[in-house]
A and B are shown apart, each in its own frame.
Chain A
Amino acid sequence: MPGDQWRVVGASIRGTSHERSGLPCQDAHVWNVDRDGVLVAAVADGAGSAPFGEVGANIAAKAATDRARWTLVNQSPKTPRDDQGWHSFMKDTLAAARSAVEQEAKNRSLPINEFATTLIFLVAGPDFVAAVQIGDGAVVAKTSDGGILSLTRPPRGEYLNETTFLCSEEGLANAQFLVARGAMAHLAIISDGLQMVALRMPGGEPHPGFFNPLFEFMEQERDQMAAQGRLSSFLASPRLRERTDDDVTLMLATRVV
């Protein structure tokens, strides 16, 4: 087995407000670790106001990871060497996600905003993480020396309920983009529904009390199925659902050395 690997657990759970109003879970997440131990992961949050938000979210998350996997296989060197290269890589990934959603809207002869979704996407190797984000949510990392930081964070518009979407005009222009060098021990992606419990708002710094126990859990729980189940029941727990009624997605990735 070559080099480093990631252990990944992720879950998307329907929020109580969506249950009450009969909406499906509009969050989606997709991830893959390739043979070289490179992780690609996407989390998308379909807009509650968009009739097909969950369709947009699923398509965007899948198209982004598919495109990135294809690029990783076909380009040489496999991963870009500098920020510039990563920037093009991420832009290309977002464009692919966007055109997949546009294609779906076209197939159904519906306006694109009915598929409105946010998108968070990352690529992580043994000594780098590249992340991009359009709209809300965050990517949080714990470095191998124990520091916790937000790689991307919720953008600060004036109003809480205003955000940007993948397919809106300013979507690509307003994307947050970041490449972090150095070894990351843990990564987490959260959707909008977890922001108020996982981050210190309005700044968007990670709340260590939220992430540390989760990262510890990832180190201890080696059984994939068990980890998956425990994460899902945490996200569905009454204590969490008292604090947020939106759909929630949490994806955790821990580097196995």
Chain B
Amino acid sequence: MSTAPSELEAFVEFADNPEARCPCVLLLDTSSSMEGEPILALNHGLKAFKADLCKDPLASRRVEVAVVTFDSEVRVVQDFVTADQFEPPGLLTHGETLMGSGIGKALDMVAARKAQYRFAGVLYYRPWIFMITDGEPQGEPPEVVAQAAQRVRQEEEQKKIAFFAVGVEKANMTKLSEIAVRTPVKLRGLGFVEMFVWLSRSTQVVLHSKTDEQVALPPPGWGVV
């Protein structure tokens, strides 16, 4: 006969697996046309993104955020960090719109990150690349853009990434739909906060559901297709 009922939780030991990760690259247009109101709204949106992710304990540990900007150059403003470590940057604007090069950089970063996960035995979710622009590719040869579009198409087909494009104000939506496989969404006004809260919630949906294909995301309330 057992004696005093001991609590099982005191005896059962848990496996020490590394936390699974869901990489998410924010690929942001910081060309000079974003100056003023738009960039302020975008910076504000990034703060909302962090705040909303951190409300969900699982998301704050599992979602890894990276920020890449493209203007006259492509810069990794923030390499992958978990949401709880993410410090939203204050972005500034200048110059042209090296979108194709920016996309290439984001795809490279995702591939490298996955290789690190595999090496470390970390389980992961399908990476997201979330591109926001108010214009169209500018200041780079058309081949660079065509090549970027080609890679996006290929990697979507092979389920290597999920690539989303969001157009702001006078963004060239036709051009965006030539680049992204998924239908680009036009942001309503400068509703970046709504958009980033949606993005945060959508990653949470992904973390909390099992699927035999890509998760169907809730329709965005912040934009028009």
Residues on A lying within 8 angstroms of B by beta carbon are: 17, 21, 45, 47-49, 116, 118, 135-136, 158-165, 168, 170, 192, 196-202, 207, 209-210, 213-214, 216-217, 220-222, 226, 230-231, 233-234, 237, 239-240, 243, 245-246
Contacts and interface: CB of A to CB of B under 8 A. Distances in A.
A168 B212 contact: yes
B125 interface: yes
B213 interface: yes
The residue in B124, B206, B208, B212 that gathers the most chain A C-beta atoms within 10 A of its C-beta is: B212
B211 interface: yes
Given A47-B210, A226-B5, A234 B12 contact: yes
5 tightest A-B CB contacts, nearest first: A209-B13, A207-B15, A234-B8, A213-B11, A48-B209
A161 B212 contact: no
Interface string B209-225: 11111011000000000
Interface residues of B, number: 32
A165 B14 contact: no
A207 B213 CA distance: 29
A200 B8 CA distance: 20
Given A237-B9, A239-B9, A201 B58 contact: no
A197 B15 CA distance: 5
Most chain B Cβ neighbours within 10 Å, of A202, A209, A214: A202
B210 A49 contact: yes
A14 to B, nearest CB: 13
B121 interface: yes
A207 B209 contact: no
Contacts of A246: 208
A159 B125 contact: yes
A48 B216 CA distance: 12
Given A159-B124, A200-B17, A246-B208, 13 more contacts: A47-B209, A47-B210, A49-B209, A49-B211, A158-B126, A159-B125, A161-B206, A162-B126, A209-B13, A210-B14, A213-B8, A214-B8, A217-B11
A118 B212 CA distance: 11
A135 to B, nearest CB: 7
19 contacts: A47-B211, A49-B205, A118-B210, A136-B210, A160-B20, A161-B215, A163-B212, A164-B212, A196-B15, A201-B121, A209-B14, A210-B13, A210-B14, A213-B12, A220-B2, A230-B7, A231-B8, A234-B12, A245-B208
A159 B126 contact: yes
A116 B12 contact: no
A158 B2 CA distance: 45
Nearest to B1: A222
Nearest to B216: A49
Contacts of B124: 159-160
B207 interface: yes
B111 interface: no
B212 A233 contact: no
Nearest to B13: A209
Contact of B17 (A47, A201, A226): A201
A245 B61 CA distance: 13
A237 B216 CA distance: 32
Nearest to A200: B15
B9 A198 contact: no
Centre residue among A116, A160, A222 by max chain B CB count within 10 A: A160
Contact of B210 (A170, A192, A210, A234): A192
Contacts of B9: 233-234, 237, 239-240
A230 B4 CA distance: 12
A217 B5 CA distance: 10
Contact of B123 (A48, A160, A234): A160
Interface in B113-128: 121, 123-126
Nearest to B12: A213
A243 B58 contact: no
A214 B208 CA distance: 27
B14 A197 contact: yes
Contacts of A17: 58, 208
A45 B211 CA distance: 12
Contacts of B205: 49
Given A201-B15, A210-B15, A214-B8, A163 B123 contact: no
Interface string B1-44: 11001011101111101001000000000000000000000000
Contacts of B215: 49, 161
